[in-house]
Structure 1
């Protein structure tokens, strides 16, 4: 038997014995990559990093590194910065001539005025009235014959309804009050002003209702009381507005004036019926005569004389008699003032058919009421 330990093999492929004190075999060291001439420094660092990773990683890490190239992070191509210089594009197309806008033609003196869009505060451009003053022309445009005929029809309706009774008179009166409220706001360049128009018209209806409830003998208290309440209401609503102070004050004054005029028209309902008949006819005749193609002074004289004659004629039919001439003359004078106000500062056609129709009759209401009570 051999004196070698069990399991030991000889030099030529024989089994050697297991030595428990034998040191564990160190992993094989890979030689460093040779530094070739011209070898890139970045490649050298990458090779060194791979060597270190191979030495210090476990089997699992080696397995991860052994995956296919599709699971590895691919290097990204460098992205050009946003501020990179772009080559200038040269347009080789022939240049087309630019069409210059034609200048607007200046308005000729004496031509029909143009009306701009209505606003609350007015336009920044020069208005037609300012241009007319600068050129020495009058800013007054008369409403014309058509609004005068409508005023005459409405005046005759007031006269005929007054002869029938109070409730019949309320129908054309309400129409007059509505047109007055809308026409005053449009005359002041405030359109659309629905809240102000509705507020003024509501005050007129409230005055009519108060007069029906209180009776003609308490007409001043009903009219003035309603006017005071509506002025206070307009002030409260004006203070709640978020507009500029100037616009707020301008709107407040327009609302108060519109409500006052609409409420004053209730005087027809408070006046004596005969006075309303004479006054309505006198205003109708005076406004038609004023619209005749005559010089201003001549048309005013003709209108006043025609109103006085109509007052005498209608007064003979009623109980007023010859005193109807005075009432007709006073009503016509107030109507001409309202007609002049509706023609001021280049109003539009809509103003002519609202304020131009209603203001003559509305302005005559106090004279009809006061003289009717005095003469009757």
Structure 2
């Protein structure tokens, strides 16, 4: 048995090394101070008792936390935290005395959506067009007076260019064709569509060139339109988009090219017919933008267009036939105006399609009616 205290010596190498070193030192020196004992040694009789734990200063103490290795059972949440709580019922209103008048309830913004007026610059509330679509009605926002003024200005430029000559008409016509192609793509929600816009505008330029080369023959318009429909079909077949998206892109591209090419009818028509028709369209669009009911506004626009055609026809030599030409051009212009107003368009649509579509849609009527009345 060992004469060390319990729990020491067996697993404490530092203590053993200390004892061996001290025993060796005792052997060399050959004496021991009275009243002192070596660590782990029992004191002699009559000597003061030495603390058996005094040798802990020579040992290394390890202290640390232990971890439980057994799996702890899951803690269940209280039933009050996971159970469904029924809605709180409002208390029963107190009985008011006889003769008491309940105040009228006030409307509040939090009670429901408040529909504000239609706007082109954006509105935080629900617009009239969005409300109309939710109710199943046609959401239409008309371009307004600013777009009508721009349409009238472009129409007057066409009328003045026709009076100057073929190349004088060509400059505003090219502007009209470019704005028509861009406005149609944006009206259909396809933006950016640079390739489609460029393709439609290029078709219009090719048609203009063919008209100038063929001495303003209308066959140039039909030939250019056929070639561009085939070209658009080939390009869409090479696309890697979904079939539905390719079909939608094909229809938009063909329609944009057709409208831009059809606007070249001003170049194929007689100069006097272009002057009368452009002025009549300008007058009709401005009258349509007046703050009047829709039916009244349409009637007023047609009447003003017929009057403008009659007035300008008297100056150009068409006479009273100018009224018929002006009214027919105004009907096509109002259709284009209606198309540009559909599906709550943006400000960009109003200043592209809203400006160009009335004039582009009236070009075939100007050519046909000009040939009839001329």
Same fold per TM (> 0.5)?
Answer: yes
Which of residues 114, 117, 123 in structure 2 aligns to 1:108? 114
Unaligned 5+ runs, structure 1: 1-37, 39-84, 86-103, 117-125
- Hey, what does 2:352 align to over in structure 1? 354
- Contact in 1 for aligned 2:148/2:289 (Cα 8 Å): yes
Shift of 1:109: 2.7
User: What secondary structure does 1:252 align onto?
Assistant: helix
Compare CA radii of gyration and give the structure with the larger one: 1
Residues 276 and 246 (structure 1), Cα distance of their counterparts in 2 relative to 1, 3 Å cut: same
User: What secondary structure does 1:321 align onto?
Assistant: coil
Distance of 1:154 and 1:105 partners within structure 2: 48
Shift of 1:105: 10
Residues 239 and 129 (structure 1), Cα distance of their counterparts in 2 relative to 1, 3 Å cut: farther
Deviation per CA, 1:189-235, whole angstroms, max 9, x where unpaired?
0001000000000000000000000112xx22100000000000000
- Contact in 1 for aligned 2:206/2:224 (Cα 8 Å): yes
Spell out structure 1 runs of 4+ moving beyond 2 A.
104-116, 126-138
- Hey, what does 1:320 align to over in structure 2? 318
Deviation per CA, 1:310-352, whole angstroms, max 9, x where unpaired?
0110000012111000000000010000000000011111100
- Contact in 2 for aligned 1:183/1:354 (Cα 8 Å): yes
- Hey, what does 2:141 align to over in structure 1? 141
Q: TM-score, normalised by structure 2?
A: 0.67
- Contact in 2 for aligned 1:128/1:346 (Cα 8 Å): no
- Hey, what does 1:345 align to over in structure 2? 343
Matches within 5 A, 1:20-31: none
User: What secondary structure does 2:320 align onto?
Assistant: helix
Distance of 2:326 and 2:260 partners within structure 1: 22
Residues 106 and 115 (structure 1), Cα distance of their counterparts in 2 relative to 1, 3 Å cut: farther
Distance of 1:206 and 1:276 partners within structure 2: 21
Distance of 2:221 and 2:128 partners within structure 1: 38
1:258 is aligned to 2:256: yes
Distance of 2:288 and 2:266 partners within structure 1: 23
Distance of 1:255 and 1:207 partners within structure 2: 16
- Hey, what does 1:180 align to over in structure 2? 180
Matches within 5 A, 1:1-376: 107-112=113-118, 132-216=132-216, 219-376=217-374
Q: How many residues align?
A: 267
Give the aligned CA root-mean-square deviation in angstroms: 2.6
Shift of 1:114: 8.6
Unaligned 5+ runs, structure 2: 1-9, 11-68, 70-109
Distance of 2:128 and 2:138 partners within structure 1: 10
Distance of 1:190 and 1:127 partners within structure 2: 22
Residues 112 and 129 (structure 1), Cα distance of their counterparts in 2 relative to 1, 3 Å cut: closer
Shift of 1:132: 2.5
Distance of 2:294 and 2:373 partners within structure 1: 31
Distance of 1:108 and 1:315 partners within structure 2: 51
- Contact in 1 for aligned 2:115/2:131 (Cα 8 Å): no
Shift of 1:130: 6.6
User: What secondary structure does 1:243 align onto?
Assistant: coil
- Contact in 2 for aligned 1:156/1:284 (Cα 8 Å): yes
Distance of 1:244 and 1:127 partners within structure 2: 33
Deviation per CA, 1:128-180, whole angstroms, max 9, x where unpaired?
96753323554010100000000000000000000000001000000000000
Residues 136 and 244 (structure 1), Cα distance of their counterparts in 2 relative to 1, 3 Å cut: closer
Distance of 2:332 and 2:262 partners within structure 1: 13
